[in-house]
Chains A and B, each alone.
Chain A
Amino acid sequence: MRADATQTAPPSGRLQPGPRPAMRLGERVRAATGHHLRVYRRTWRGSVISRFLSPLFFLAAMGLGLGALVDAGSGGVGQQSYLQFVVPGIVAYQAALLGFGDATYPVLGYIKWNRMYAATLATPLGVTDILLGHLSVLAANLAVATAIFVGVSALFGAFASWWVLLAVPVGLLTGLAFAVPTFAISATIETDNVFGILYRFVLTPVLLFSGTFFPLEQLPGWLRPMAWLTPLGHGVVLTRDAALGRWPGPVALVHLLVIVVVIAVGWVLAHRQLTRRLLS
């Protein structure tokens, strides 16, 4: 099928001496995406297995283990079983974790270890194309992982409503809100031990205090605002409402806005840092 398409494709005119036809944005981003898809082709099997296993681990530990304890002790959370309370939050949580992870070692690798990004900038592609190419593959990966997580969890009755399908785009955005700023950090640092520090001292507290595992009301008043400082807290509220099929009112738009603003600020920083690093 692909062979047919290439037989009929017109020559690009870009192998002739003299001025060559400029590449459109779409072409440039597709070329950058093509690189990451090539890399992904070699690794996707392993990652798909872990995509299916990860929700099973959470369901077993949180639903059966902790959930049984919570439900027996206090009759669930509000009106819900602990399973139905916690799994929607974990949908956002796993997206945040995956977004962070995908923007650490792989990004530093292309910048510093194999230096493919420097090689890329020697072609007509620019920093914007590199970012769009890498982030679109990262986003597709996030969407697929979140969809699998939601699908597997649904089989175990983790959600009360079909509206949980909205948790997939919300998870994607939450993941990007971690991935894009992390990209900016990866474009700045020299050594990968920064990732360990970030994971321990930034990501872990964020994950613990975003209302994923217990309602925020359990926290003392002064600790609650922590949840609103990070995109994860906002993502958790949205995925939880989606799973219940509950429209939370206009505040939902505020939550979305926070997430989008974090992505936008991350983009500006990532663009600036990559430019400084590779085009100095």
Chain B
Amino acid sequence: MTDEVLLEARGLTKSFGEFVAVDGIDVLVRRGEAFGFLGPNGAGKSSTMRMVGCVSPVTGGRLRILGLDPAVDGAAIRARLGVCPQQDMLDEDLSVEENLWVYGRFFGLSRREVRARTDELLEFAQLTDRRHDRVEPLSGGMKRRLTIARALVNNPEVLLLDEPTTGLDPQARHVLWDRLYRLKREGVTLIITTHYMDEAEQLCDRLVVMDHGRIVAEGSPRELIEAYSTREVVELRFEDEQQERHLGSVEALAERVEALPDRLLVYTADGDDTLAALHGRGVRPLSALVRRSTLEDVFLHLTGRSLVD
């Protein structure tokens, strides 16, 4: 990572008519970083990504990508970006390799460059044996990998990934994460949106949590957990109606307690200690699980709701 700032947003705002989708956010991303936008549905993640991708004019504030203004140098910026949009947007009537050829030409690559790039990217996306197949019948995971491969055809310096793994099975997600790690090692700057905590923790050096168009927290996954949560969490489930009755005694023993409809989340430095103390006070849950704090807990604390609706 260098100090060169690739993305700078100050008071960045996007409105659709009266509705404010992005409400004055400040973001700095440096070259080589993996940066995440985390937030629930409608938080304004895609609206932000589309402004950064220079396909959505800024309503207010300042935005610079690679030091350039998208309102003036949109095409020059886009020539250096790779974009994996939330929906795949492939030409499903064409074959896998034709999709890459066509897209490479959009960036002004010569035919020879496009062919060479296509071979590399098919390998990267593990689609070499499907290269002649039409896209339409491919699985969701394959289409997603092809979309990401296509976004790389111009050898971008910044890769924008809008929910890269939504809708994929766990194995496909891990394959994709592995590919994204490789890109990051090669020096590509990653800007990712997600509503998966594990994804943000796996991929992002730094992230912002967005809600209702605003940034509600910022930092590395570790920093956020330290700032907004405790080291460990105890999840307690009770028999019907019992949760209410025990809430008072649990609260007395923990730094903080979050009451969800089906369980209590008990925030504490040491889960086992807390559990032992609860037993001592005669609290007998149906089940108790001690785990490490995650970004999900951070989000719950910041917004009072869980991330995946």
- Chain A residues at the B interface, C-beta cutoff of 8 Å: 2, 5-7, 9-12, 14-23, 27-28, 30-32, 34-35, 38-39, 42, 114-116, 118-126, 278-280
Q: Do A35 and B102 have beta carbons less than 8 Å apart?
A: yes
- B80: chain A residues within 8 A (beta carbon): 17-20
Instruction: List 17 contacting pairs A-B, 8 Å CB cutoff, sorted by A.
Output: A9-B110, A11-B113, A12-B108, A14-B109, A17-B155, A18-B80, A19-B76, A20-B76, A20-B154, A23-B75, A35-B106, A115-B87, A115-B89, A116-B91, A122-B55, A124-B108, A278-B55
Which B residues, 73 to 97, have Cβ-Cβ distances below 8 Å to chain A?
75-76, 78-81, 83, 85, 87, 89-94
B144 within 8 A of A: no
CA distance A11 to B85 in the complex (A): 28
Q: Do B103 and A119 have beta carbons less than 8 Å apart?
A: yes
B98 within 8 A of A: yes
Tell which of B53, B107, B117, B157 has the most Cβ of chain A within 10 Å. Answer: B107
3 A-B pairs with the lowest CB-CB distances in the bound complex, closest first: A123-B106, A119-B89, A31-B105
Q: Do B111 and A9 have beta carbons less than 8 Å apart?
A: yes
Known A-B contacts A19-B76, A31-B106; A9 and B93 likewise in contact (beta carbons under 8 Å) = no
Known A-B contacts A15-B113, A121-B55, A122-B55; A27 and B108 likewise in contact (beta carbons under 8 Å) = yes
With A6-B110, A6-B111, A27-B108 given, can you name 19 additional A-B contacts, CB distance below 8 Å? A6-B112, A7-B112, A11-B110, A15-B117, A15-B154, A17-B157, A19-B80, A21-B108, A22-B75, A22-B79, A23-B108, A30-B105, A116-B90, A116-B91, A119-B90, A123-B154, A126-B75, A279-B56, A279-B57
Q: Do B110 and A12 have beta carbons less than 8 Å apart?
A: yes
Q: Do B155 and A15 have beta carbons less than 8 Å apart?
A: yes
Q: Do B55 and A14 have beta carbons less than 8 Å apart?
A: no
CA distance A279 to B76 in the complex (A): 17
Q: Do A122 and B105 have beta carbons less than 8 Å apart?
A: no
Q: Do B91 and A114 have beta carbons less than 8 Å apart?
A: yes
- A14: chain B residues within 8 A (beta carbon): 79, 107-109, 113, 154
Nearest CB to that of B160 among chain A residues? A122
Nearest CB to that of A19 among chain B residues? B76
- Chain B residues at the A interface, C-beta cutoff of 8 Å: 16, 53, 55-57, 75-76, 78-81, 83, 85, 87, 89-94, 98, 101-103, 105-113, 115, 117, 150, 154-155, 157
CA distance A10 to B240 in the complex (A): 74
Give A249 Cβ to nearest chain B Cβ, in Å.
47
Q: Do B81 and A122 have beta carbons less than 8 Å apart?
A: yes
Nearest CB to that of B115 among chain A residues? A6
- B55: chain A residues within 8 A (beta carbon): 118, 121-122, 278-279
- A279: chain B residues within 8 A (beta carbon): 55-57
Known A-B contacts A38-B98, A279-B56, A280-B16; A122 and B83 likewise in contact (beta carbons under 8 Å) = yes
CA distance A10 to B89 in the complex (A): 31
CA distance A118 to B254 in the complex (A): 51
Nearest CB to that of A23 among chain B residues? B108
Q: Do B101 and A38 have beta carbons less than 8 Å apart?
A: yes
Q: Do B103 and A12 have beta carbons less than 8 Å apart?
A: no
- B94: chain A residues within 8 A (beta carbon): 38-39, 42
CA distance A27 to B75 in the complex (A): 14
Give B178 Cβ to nearest chain A Cβ, in Å.
23
CA distance A163 to B55 in the complex (A): 48
CA distance A228 to B108 in the complex (A): 44
CA distance A246 to B94 in the complex (A): 47
Q: Do A124 and B92 have beta carbons less than 8 Å apart?
A: no
